Amino acid sequence: MLREVTAAVASLAILIGLGAFPLCGAASAQEPTSVESTQAASVEPIADADAGSGSTQNDGAAGTSVSSSSGNATLTLSRNAVGNVDSTAPLQLVFDVRTNPGDVYTITVPESIANGTGVYTIGDSDPISASTGIVTSTTDDANHTKTFTYRFDSVASVAVNINFTLHNNYNAQPTPIEGIGTSIKSITWTYAGQQLDPVDFTQVIMPVMNPQAVTRVLPSSSTYKAIYANQDYAYQFSVGETDGIDGSADYATGQVNSAVNYGTTIRVPVPRYFTLDESATAARNGFSDETTITQPGGASSDIVITVPKRLRSPVLAERGAVLFRGPIQDHPATRG
């Protein structure tokens, strides 16, 4: 999904960091003040076929189990929602059955996403005793599923767990993830080759972007309070984006998160007469891809950061903030 982001916070932060206007040779600048996260930039998705579902709602109570029963068997999933939801409880699938000789059950679990790790990894089944039967598992790479087959040789009461590993925003993900949004996953199972009612649960992958206030880094605003016309200043802007694999704000990237980047444009409003030095900004950031930081309208116009699909910070690397550099032009309106 192509994203258009307007960093309203950034405009306010730059104005605070640069101090009051008009400038009179040099102006006294106030210390940057904190900005509430409720003022964060707005993100407007544009439909993209390979971005998956566009919904970002947290559906269901993640702590509620869901089950399916048939005859002598019950299949229970410990949670009905996983991912960016309000729960950190473990995920476990319990198969509880009263067996007879010759019984055969299969349980097929879908992978979280088709192109990587996603929200969870499917683990192994608990073993069953040799006198009771045998359990085997196979992975279908084409359909992105794992199937467990239970063959029973005796009468017994059996309860086994199929275990999962839940992931968080730290884990490496593909660039980008396929399946962003809300999706319904179905665990299917059979007895003697006959389909039984599935166990359905909700998966939510909901990226969160929390842009931070633009701050002056060269020279430091804490060391040099005044701003001079026609002098270069360097500022930094942190996107603060998670991949939305879990419900926390942990492991946000300073730059656009490649795991959820289907194409991003960020617009940063600037104070009047600010001019971006595009070559110095490019050198300062050292981008080796097609990411660009420009000011197409010239002095006083928005800075435009364009990040093509799949580019910028991998989730494992909390890359630094975007940097841009330039002066406030000397102008009659900036003089006393």
% residues pLDDT > 70 (the chain): 74
> Does residue 166 have a pLDDT over 90?
yes
Q: What average pLDDT score do residues 50-76 get?
A: 66
Lowest-confidence pick of 39-48, 157-166, 183-192, 219-228: 39-48
Cβ neighbours of residue 109 closer than 8 Å, sequence gap 6 or more:
93, 122, 145, 146, 147, 148, 162, 187
pLDDT for 160 beyond 80:
yes
pLDDT in tens, 83-110: 999 888 999 999 999 999 999 999 999 9
The answer to whether 257 touches 274, Cβ cutoff 8 Å, is: no
pTM above 0.85, yes or no: no
**pLDDT digit string (tens) for 190-242?**
999 999 999 999 999 999 988 888 888 888 878 887 777 888 888 888 888 99
Quote the tokens at residue 264. 């991003």
More confident residue, 295 or 18: 295
CA distance 208 to 260: 10
pLDDT of 11-42, one tens digit each?
323 222 222 222 223 332 333 222 222 223 33
Picking from 140, 137, 88, the residue whose alpha carbon sits closest to that of residue 114 is 140
Share of the chain above pLDDT 90, in %: 46
DSSP string, 98-114: EE-TT-EEEEEEE-S-S
Cis peptide before 22 (omega within 30 of 0): yes
> For tokens 């968080």, what's the residue?
168
pLDDT category at 324 given cuts 50, 70, 90 is low
Q: Is residue 77 a contact partner of residue 199, using CB atoms and an 8 Å limit?
A: yes
Q: For residue 182, give Cα distances in angstroms to 21, 202, 245, 286, 334.
A: 47, 7, 11, 36, 50
In terms of average pLDDT, the best of 13-22, 158-167, 274-283, 312-321 is 158-167
d(CA 79, CA 159): 18
Query: Which amino acid type is present at position 73?
Result: A
Q: Which residue has the tokens 């420009």?
A: 294
Distances (CA, A) of 238 to 159, 245, 256, 316: 49, 20, 9, 16
> Between residues 269 and 43, which one has the greater pLDDT?
269
pLDDT reading at 3 higher than 60: yes
| 189 vs 312: CA distance, rounded Å | 41
Scan for tokens 């088709």, then name that residue: 114
What value does the mean pLDDT of the chain take?
Answer: 78
